[in-house]
Structure 1
Amino acid sequence: MAALLTTYDSGDRIWSGSKRTFTYTDETSIGKIIFTNMKNWPNNVSQINDEDGGTVTFNEAITWAIRVAQIFKKKGFQYPDVIGLPVRNSTYVMSVAVACYLNGTPFHAINPVMDEATMTHVFSITKPKIIFCDGQDYEKVQAASKEWQPDILTVTDPIKGVPHIQSLLDPTPTEAFYQPEPLKEGSQQTMAILCSSGTTGLPKAVCISNRSLQHDFPWWSRLEQRPDHFSHGNGHWLHPHHNPKSLFSRLLCEARGEVQDQLCHFGASPYVSPDQLSRSIERSHGLTSVHNLYRRIHLYDHTEKSSGAL
């Protein structure tokens, strides 16, 4: 009985079980939220590789992430240890990032095309304990981190004698019972580190808190009601709250150009409606549904027109 998570109030003579915790609160780690939703919808496709057409389901992605997170914990990595990710989009990158969230160890993502001097400067700020990179960048990453000599693994282009990401993906006897690590510093705990543009000097490290991630991606809390509204392509999450200057703007430009070409071919007005753009994007990228896309296009067009960008 002592092993059960119960309490007894002798005054009211009431036994109580453990307190219920809500899934979506400021104190819930983004790793826990991702873990819960991926476990709830294991067969959903979470990633589509534009280059080879390969797909990854939630079940595959979270299973890989759990195995990597267990390795992190076994090595003693914990907050505020940092994981370096100077990588291009590929099959396992998302799972490594999710593993960082699960373990509560922030990742430091940088552009892999940085020159050695810039990469040395940026990584010297956080000194990652382990770095995942593409094989083509291994020597540059190794030179940039020689001051503290972290473990370096490749995620693509395997190199003889250098550990590869697949060496971390062997099944473990405890993966079925894995639970994400709780936050150590509450909602303001740093969960990701990105880089500034570097236009006013060398790039700076920009810390993103757990709370910021939750508020930037509130669609996680709606995923249980509409699991078909999650789509992933080429390493980016396609949702209305994603940075419009990245994948969304590219899709929008591609779709607008495609529809305009069709309209001009038939002598029609080159104006492209949000409905036409929505259908074009969904058709071109094989998406069954894109969350709130019609409204997102309206907002995007309004913002661009107001700034004179269109």
Structure 2
Amino acid sequence: MKKDYKIVDNVIYMPDLEYQPDPRGIGWVYYENMLKNKDLLAQVDGETGEEDTFGALLQRCIRAAIGLRLAGVEYGDVVSVCTYNHLNSCVPAISSMFIGAKIAALDPSLSLPDALHLFKIVMPKLIFVGEESVELIENVIREAQCKTTVVVFGPSEKHIPFSHFGESPVEELEFKPVTVKNIKDVAVIMFSSGTSGLPKGICHTHYSVLRAHPNEMRLGTNASLMFASDSPYWNVFLFYLNYSIQNGTARVLYPRFDRNDTWKVFSRKVTLACLNITELMILCCTPKPESIDTSALRLIITGSSPISVSQISKARALFPNVLIRINFGQSEVFPNILCFDMGDPEEVELLTKKPNSCGLPKTGISYKIIDLETGKALGPNQKGEVRIKTELQLSGYYNMDSKGIWDEDGWLKTGDYGYYDEDYCFYIVDRIKEMFKYQYWHIIPAIIEGIIITHPAVLTAIVIGIPHELDENHAMAIVQLKKGASASEEEIQKYLDEKVEDRQRLRGGVKFVEKFPLTPSGKVNRFVLKQMVLQNTI
């Protein structure tokens, strides 16, 4: 690691960020960058080939901002969006920044209960909706008993069509973004699951989004056309949108990652692709069509869960001339926590030598690895929880208690179990938090456990995630039966399948135990339990 750091008592202190954010806020930064780059390519529809310059996109964002004002949206109100990717899916976020509103997105694939829960947290005044999600959002609004205005990306007789939204040529010519009242006002609300319970709204301010330099994602100079499949609901969408606008880099858009036609995302000359590990492994298992040319591809960024050396080896074999970088990031920090710098030859060399490392410390973030039992900061090659301090972090949860985000010394608890080596390259081993990911989705064990224990034969049940090469994790239930009761694996699985969504099914199977390993406080030790399963001791 470069000598621009200091280490005190096993705590890695990086230099402060030198870049100072524009005090006028995100709206002005986006507006001026889009105006400056008005003739550059901003977006390409991967399916139709339709192209969009920053100037054309800016015009639609200005019109949408005017429409928001005419609809009664004011500074500090919440605007939402629920849609897959298309040329207008970023407009709600940008137009909201222009008028000082907060943006919070939902995903079209959410169930009604999940969408309703998130909706109630933010209670948006207006929501932009894809045609595929109109019925879902109508049901959510009815259940929430509110009067949220709906704007539809497509024709609509019942709601406002996006094509008619904010058309006002006079105001358009005179339009300027608002200057924020306080640069630490909330601008973005991202949803993320906690260690238990339901998702919370993670608040980012104009300051936390703009504090890092526009190039802080460390992509190097080769990113001219980027691809990421994430819808506006996911943090990656905003991370790459922010990079695109501030650096004048184009994005190629597909509605979503198509498992039945995986290679079509490379039909365009993509130079950088952001693929979660599930998408990357699916590509590794799918023969590449002869018509697909990936010669322009320079960098693949992956992440979202711990990644094995064997997975990276498969990806490298498939893309032998492409750098494959693991990012470590969370919604709580904008835009990422650890990565290798693709513009630094020394770091690129480390990346090739340490394929499953998620990178070196970054300017503006301090790091320590904490022993979970003693709270002591650990040295190289000792595993514990990763904790950080940074100005790029969230300001708290939206309309919810934020206790527990930070420790008593103000360090952000990432909930990730990892270590760094003698070169200060970091590795993430596992999640300390009880939740785990199945494909894109955070699976909350408590919800599944609460259903399993209603089975008449079950005394207690613990659900854990078992690593899976394609899907990140599969849910497995470890079950303790009532004394004298009996039940089979198939019976437990069928009982649950009838009551949950597909992603919550027990693809990892069911195991039975007579007792669980416990912590000193008497709680089930999930970490030890998972190790027992992986080591086939139960």
Report which of the two has the higher share of helix: 1
Return the match for 2:174 from 173, 177, 193. 177
Is 2:120 the counterpart of 1:124? yes
Instruction: Find the aligned partners of 1:230 and 1:210 in 2 and give their Cα distance.
Output: 26
| Residues 99-114 of structure 1 mapped to structure 2, 5 A cutoff | 99-114=95-110
Counterpart selection for 1:135 from 123, 131, 134: 131
Q: Give the superposition deviation at 1:207.
A: 1.0
Instruction: Write out per-residue CA displacement over residues 106-162 of structure 1, whole angstroms, 9 at most, x where no aligned residue.
Output: 111122211111211211122101111111211211111221121111125x34433
Query: Retained in 1: the 8 A contact 2:66–2:171?
Result: no
Q: Which residue of structure 2 aligns with residue 8 of structure 1?
A: none
The yes-or-no answer on 1:80 pairing with 2:107 is no
Aligned position for 2:295: none
Greater share of strand residues, 1 or 2?
Answer: 2
Larger radius of gyration: 2
Tell me, in whole angstroms, the C-alpha distance in 2 between the residues paired with 1:27 and 1:258: 42
Secondary structure at 1:195 match in 2: strand
**One-letter amino acid of the structure 2 residue matched with residue 277 of structure 1:** V
For the 8 Å contact 1:39–1:59, the answer to whether it is kept is: yes
SS at match of 1:102: helix
Write the mapping of 1:1-310 to structure 2, written as runs, cut at 5 A: 25-146=21-142, 147-156=145-154, 158-168=155-165, 170=167, 172-184=169-181, 186-197=182-193, 200-216=196-212, 218-219=214-215, 231-233=225-227, 236=237, 237=240, 247=274, 251-252=300-301, 260-261=317-318, 272=320, 276-277=321-322, 293=342, 295=344, 302-303=357-358, 306-307=427-428
Deviation at 1:84, TM superposition (A): 1.2
Q: Which whole-Å CA distance do the structure 1 matches of 2:174 and 2:135 have between them? A: 38
Cα distance change on mapping 1:75 and 1:154 into 2, 3 Å: closer
Q: CA deviation at 1:51?
A: 2.6
Distance 2:161 2:194 in 1: 31
Mean CA deviation greater in 75-84 or 24-33:
24-33
1:230 to 1:69, Cα distance in 2 relative to 1, 3 A = farther
Number of matched residues?
253
1:55-84, CA deviations, whole angstroms, 9 ceiling, x for partnerless residues? 211001111000111112233322221001
Counterpart-to-counterpart distance in 1, 2:227 and 2:164: 25
Q: What 5-or-longer segments of structure 2 have no aligned partner? A: 1-18, 232-236, 247-272, 281-299, 303-310, 325-340, 360-425, 431-468, 470-538
> Which sections of structure 1, spanning at least 5 residues, go unmatched?
1-22, 221-225, 263-271, 280-291
The answer to whether the Cα contact below 8 Å between 2:78 and 2:122 also exists between their aligned partners in 1 is yes
Of stretches 247-256 and 76-85 in structure 1, the one that deviates more from structure 2 is 247-256
Q: Return closer, same or farther for 1:261/1:206 CA change in 2, 3 Å cut-off.
A: closer
* Cα distance between partner residues in 2 of 1:308 and 1:82: 37
Q: Is the 8 A contact 1:65 1:95 kept in 2?
A: yes
Distance 1:135 1:217, change over 3 A: farther
**Length-normalised TM-score, structure 2:** 0.42
- Measured in 2, the distance between the counterparts of 1:82 and 1:54 equals 31
Displacement of 1:230: 6.1
In structure 1, what residue type is equivalent to 2:317?
Q
Q: What displacement does 1:301 show?
A: 5.3
Change (3 A) 1:24 1:175: farther
Kept in 2: contact 1:125–1:205 (CA 8 A) = yes
Question: Contact 1:45 / 1:55 at 8 angstroms: preserved in 2?
Answer: yes
Q: Aligned residues: percent identity?
A: 19
Provide the rounded CA distance (Å) in 2 between the counterparts of 1:152 and 1:95.
15
Separation (CA, whole Å) in 1 of partners of 2:59 and 2:164 = 14
CA contact (8 A) 1:44 1:228 kept: no
Over the residues paired in the alignment, what is the CA RMSD in angstroms? 3.6
8 Å contact from structure 2 (residues 35, 54) kept in 1 = yes
- Secondary structure of the 1:123 match is helix
Distance (whole Å) between structure 1 residues aligned to residue 50 and residue 103 of structure 2:
25
Question: 1:39 and 1:255 mapped to 2: Cα distance?
Answer: 40
Provide, for residues 231-284 of structure 1, a one-character-per-residue CA deviation record: whole Å limited to 9, x for no partner.
45456427599xxxx92655346998676247xxxxxxxxx5xxx3159xxxxx
For 2:186 and 2:118, how far apart are their aligned partners in 1? Answer: 17
Output the CA distance in 2 between the equivalents of 1:255 and 1:54. Answer: 34
- Using CA pairs below 8 Å that are at least 6 residues apart, which structure has the higher relative contact order? 1
- Shift in Å, 1:99: 0.2
Cα distance in structure 1, aligned partners of 2:178 and 2:21: 15
Q: CA distance change for structure 1 residues 206 and 121 in 2, over 3 Å: closer, same or farther? A: same
**C-alpha displacement of 1:171:** 5.2
